[in-house]
Structure 1
């Protein structure tokens, strides 16, 4: 993990993206917007062409050791698969992809290695975001939130202040989480759901207010 400061940017990083898919396109865009270089994609899909959005398809994921001079990022939306791949890659340097149009407080804010923060997302002071998380386009992570590893906050979701979210939980598109709540690991919060009390049992929660399905 690293603490956000005014001196965060390291120029001219070379990045290998794991996952040649829609999410991979967004991650590639962030890499380019930061002035860094996309080396190419690794993906186990045998039907991919030689190039994906203009960048080389370098091979299957197991060939990652050929590129250890570069940094890596796992561009897979599914948290379980993302965790499995991240654990498989040994001795790699991780790239943290923060879009320049994201608003990230530099006041006591920490973002974990390999996390993606997309355009127009807001991360406010005191937030702690774990490794390999996704903070999607326009999402809001308010002050003093704690997001454990592999959490995905979807497009336009809003987490009010002092919310804790457990590992691999997915907060759906446009969902809202009231302040001072805890959501346990391995949950899925449905699109547009409104969470108004602690969630202590893994599962899928939908509706207003959100209830377990």
Structure 2
């Protein structure tokens, strides 16, 4: 009989909507949220979980807890991660997510409820794979990218760093998407996107 794994104690950086969802995933995974860190002085607790300080207080807790950045904005998440590379980062995977064989998910990434990630996919650090997204086989998603709810990423797609794929978007198979690309909600991408920028529509096109 296997011994139960000891629960992990986690501090969430960011006490807004995304942070609340992360807290729920941690609880449903059998681990414990010890508190939030947030720079908004009006926030004292979230669902009876205390806000224990500001983001600069990370160093006070760094030896005691795992951390996850519960902030949806890619650039803010990037700044915090770059300023704190040595933390023990927690990877949050909702129990209802379907994770295929050979999938790698990087430290600090959050995988929400109802997500499907199929075989041999590689997801980087501090990514967000949001509610009911489908990420098909042999996909690469680099660090700090946000895949929004109800998005479909088809097989063998490669997505760069710090991208944001809007809600309900579709990326067809074998597409390459460069770093810092923003895909508008409901867009469909059928060609490689080799420049950073904002892309919208069906098929997606770059706008100034």
Q: Give the alignment's TM-score, normalised by structure 2.
A: 0.95
1:87, 1:170 → 2: CA distance? 19
Partner of 1:138: 132
C-alpha RMSD of the superposition: 1.3
Which runs of 5 or more residues in structure 1 are unaligned? Answer: 1-6
Partner of 1:37: 32
Q: Does the CA contact (< 8 Å) of 1:11 and 1:35 recur in 2?
A: no
1:91 CA drift (Å): 2.8
Partner of 2:117: 123
Answering whether residue 69 of structure 2 is matched by residue 98 of structure 1, we say no
> Which string of whole-angstrom CA distances, capped at 9 and with x for unpartnered residues, describes residues 169-198 of structure 1?
000000000000000000100000000010
Deviation beyond 3 Å, 4+ runs, structure 1 = none
Give the alignment partner of residue 54 of structure 2, picking from 56, 60, 63: 60
- Look up the SS of the partner of 1:93 in the other structure: coil
Partner of 1:114: 108
2:204, 2:86 → 1: CA distance? 41
1:51 CA drift (Å): 1.3
1:136 CA drift (Å): 0.2
Give the alignment partner of residue 18 of structure 2, picking from 16, 23, 28: 23
Which runs of 5 or more residues in structure 2 are unaligned? Answer: none
